[in-house]
Structure 1
Amino acid sequence: MRINTNISSLTAQEAAQNTSKTLTGSLEKLSTGLRINKAADDASGLAIADKLRTQATSIKQGIDNGNSAVTLLQIADKSMAEQSNILDTVKAKLIQANTATTSNAGRTAIAKDIAKLLEQLNNIAEQTNYNGTSLLQSGRASAGVSAGDTDRPSASDGLTFQVGEGISDLIKTKTIQANTEGFSLTALFSNALKAANSSTSANDDVFTRTMAASAQELVDKAITTLNGYRGDIGSTQTQVESAVRNLMTQATNVKAAESVIRDVDYAQESANFNKQNIISQAGSYAISQANAVQQNVLRLLQ
């Protein structure tokens, strides 16, 4: 028997230390709710879980992009709905002007109304924006754009929304120019302004029946063009909403997959903790017994 080196005690201490580390790890998992708290817990599992987390974050941002896009498209649609009302009113006034029961003075008054309505149509195109992004036209928009203006507003390029985690997950709208120039109503606007600013006695400047008759067809085409813009906006909104719903399903599935890898199973880990706790107590008892065995050497010396 040897007393300088207590092999039994050392073996019991080593086992107790290993059990203590395991117990500490189990407590960490129970307190954080995560099975993987550091790379040493499961290196490959951590890599997969982190990749899934990145994917989930990207999908969430795609959902946010989609919801913002829906809001933007609704703003554009509501503005064009008001423009549609304006064009309907302009068409009605042109019909009123193109009849013998309307006098020259009456047509001049109608021209003033049409000029104001078309001016408001341009104002809507100029003012409609989302976070500074013009939706119905681009460039300078003036309330009084004339036929000779060289600095006119131009078409608004189609908008592109990334609704998804990939760079190719794009949804686009068509080019929109919802102003008098885009609707080919510049001549009507110019004639209406000219007649509105003249006196009824100046027959050359009066808004004539011929002008009213020829403008009706232009307004009809403008209404058709505007309906086409609204149709594209509406179909794009439907596409975005569908993409968002799909992304929400993907996000749920990705988070579930990450949870399987990263999150701790409390039932399993609680059982493991209780087991390690019992082993730790048994280890302490084993150390005390290993130390007590050395006392037997004293009997040999008596």
Structure 2
Amino acid sequence: MRINTNVSSLVAQEANKQTNVTLANSLEKLSTGFKINKASDDASGLSIADKLRTQANGLNQAVANGNSAVTLTQIADKAMAEQSNILDVVKQKLIQASTATTSAEGIEAIGKDISKLLEQLNNIAAQTTYNGTNLLQGTASAGSVTSGIAMTFQMGTTASDVIKTASGTLANTAGLNGMSALKTGVEAWSAGLDATVMQASARGQLVEIDSALTQLNSWRADFGSTQNQLESSIRNLMTQVTNTKAAESVIRDVDYAQESANFNKQNIISQAGTYAISQANNVSQNIMRLLQ
């Protein structure tokens, strides 16, 4: 029997220290709600969980991009709807100017009215913007307007996950089929021209207005189909976010029922270890009886 080195006490202390470390880890998991709080908890699991979290965050941003894009397409569609109404009125006035019952003075007044309507058509194209981006006439530079620019929306986490409008939109008199010729022809109606000449000119412009309406409706259909595609993509992305978060949760989140049971187990072992240390220390007291 030896008292200089209490081996039993040392063994009990070592076991108790390890138990307390395990108990602290269990408390950390219960307090944070995460099964993996540091790389040493599960190195491979942490790597996978972080990738899943990054993917979910990227998908959430793609959903936000999609919602913004839907708003953009709605703005463009409503603006083109008003432009379509303007072209409808212009066509009605051209039909009015084409008949022999309309006098030269009347046709001249109709021409001025059409010019104002076309001016408003251009105003709508210039004023329809989203976050500084012009939607219906590209960009303006030094007083001139460039051709329409097709738009690309990022709808995923890779470079290829994009949705695009079919073509650029230039919904003004410079870009709509026949509108430049119509504008020039109508502005030529003035006092002194023979009524029959202006009536013939108005009938000729009916072809141009029909061509412009066809093109504008084609652009509206493109924005409408793009909006449907965006909304479908948003629904799919939201499903992906849910599934990705669920996959991350399986790896990262703690099971409270299981961890609570483990905590209680380690707590009992810790108390038992403390009792074992006290009993190991009492062994030395027993040896003292041999000296009595």
What interval of TM-score do these two structures reach, taking the shorter chain for normalisation? Answer: over 0.9
Distance 2:274 2:20 in 1: 11
The percent of aligned pairs where both chains have the same amino acid is 64
Task: Tell me what 1:264 maps to.
Answer: 254
Structure 1 residues 206, 301: CA separation in 2 closer, same or farther (over 3 Å shift)?
farther
Aligned to 1:2: 2
Matches within 5 A, 1:17-36: 17-36=17-36
Query: What letter matches 1:274 in structure 2?
Result: N
| Secondary structure class of the residue paired with 2:168 | coil
> Aligned to 2:140, what secondary structure does the other structure show?
coil
* Residue type at the aligned position of 2:289: R
Counterpart of 1:17, as a letter, is K
Aligned counterpart, 2:214 = 224
1:254 deviation in Å? 0.2
Contact 1:66-1:241 at 8 Å conserved across structures: yes
Q: Distance in 2 between matches of 1:72 and 1:91?
A: 29
Contact 2:107 2:195 in 1 (8 A): no
In the alignment, which residue of structure 1 is the partner of 2:185?
191
Residue 94 of structure 1, CA deviation: 0.2
Structure 1 partner of 2:170: 177
In 2, the alpha carbon distance for the partners of 1:6 and 1:120 equals: 99
State the match for 2:125 in structure 1: 125
Q: Within 2, Cα distance between the matches of 1:176 and 1:288?
A: 86
Q: Deviations over 1:261-302 (max 9, x none)?
A: 000000000000000000000001000000011101111111
Question: How far did residue 154 of structure 1 move?
Answer: 2.7
- 2:139 aligned with 1:135: no
- What CA distance in whole angstroms lies between the structure 1 residues aligned with 2:264 and 2:257? 11
Cα distance in 2 for partners of 1:217, 1:72 equals 31
**What residue is the counterpart of 1:11 in the other structure?**
11
| Aligned residue in 1 for 2:101 | 101
Amino acid at match of 1:32: T
| In 2, Cα distance between equivalents of 1:105 and 1:294 | 126
Match of 2:278 in 1: 288
TM-score normalised by length of structure 2? 0.96
Counterparts in 2 of 1:148-187, with a 5 A limit? 152-173=144-165, 174-183=167-176, 184-187=178-181
Tell me the CA shift for residue 186 of structure 1: 1.0
User: What number of residue pairs does the alignment pair up?
Assistant: 290
- Which amino acid in 2 is paired with 1:106? G
Asked whether the equivalents of residues 107 and 206 of structure 1 are also in contact (C-alpha less than 8 Å), the reply is no
| Contiguous gaps of at least 5 residues in structure 1 | 142-149
Q: Give the counterpart letter for 2:204 in structure 1.
A: S
Per-residue deviation at 1:189?
1.3
Per-residue deviation at 1:205?
10
Amino acid at match of 1:111: G
Q: Secondary structure at the match of 2:153?
A: strand
TM-score by length of 1: 0.93
Q: Secondary structure at the match of 1:203?
A: coil
Q: Who is 1:233 aligned against?
A: 223
> Secondary structure of the residue that 1:161 maps to in structure 2?
strand
Distance 2:67 2:279 in 1: 69
